[in-house]
Structure 1
């Protein structure tokens, strides 16, 4: 039976020996960005200055800043923010505009009631 010290020593030696092999394999075969996990990760195509509008319920809302002075939370903390920040980094020349019009607790009939103001008038 191994004591704790011997077990740990063998584990560290084994881990240290395996690490360079794993690092070499990772560097030897870089995956193409569009083929990772079988998904197509190519960037979407937008006209320069396109306006992207997100509508929905609490999942979209996520406390987006309705106050113009609160620019740190303008898009909220949801997937809207994640998509906007990712596309902003990957496609800065496109000068995309993002708008979050999620409303926590709203249902489809609520969305319909605010469709003109929140969607059509904004001309996304």
Structure 2
């Protein structure tokens, strides 16, 4: 899969991902994502090039990642997500081992969070 991803065009810019996390899983995630900390995502991570592509408007999504990415392969033509549903934004796949610095963590009301990340690799 790595070889295939290298052949795809890369997206550089802001990427978005929305998550639904609760209880101890949410607490652990927030502990790992404190301002100034560095985090590595060991698995592939999907993201969208807009908030709507990342489903930010779905009420159950309470953790929203706003990421500055450097080299995110654009998988829009191959994924059954964004483009196949008629959306214009790009569907992205961050490679395994993507490494980020947490720039800011905002509680945006109740149990809802925005986390701003900058890709380092």
TM range (shorter): under 0.3
Structure showing the higher helix proportion among its residues: 1
Normalising by structure 1, we get a TM-score of 0.22
Q: Which has the higher relative contact order, 1 or 2, with Cα contacts under 8 A spaced 6 or more apart? A: 2
Normalising by structure 2, we get a TM-score of 0.22
- Largest Rg, 1 or 2: 1
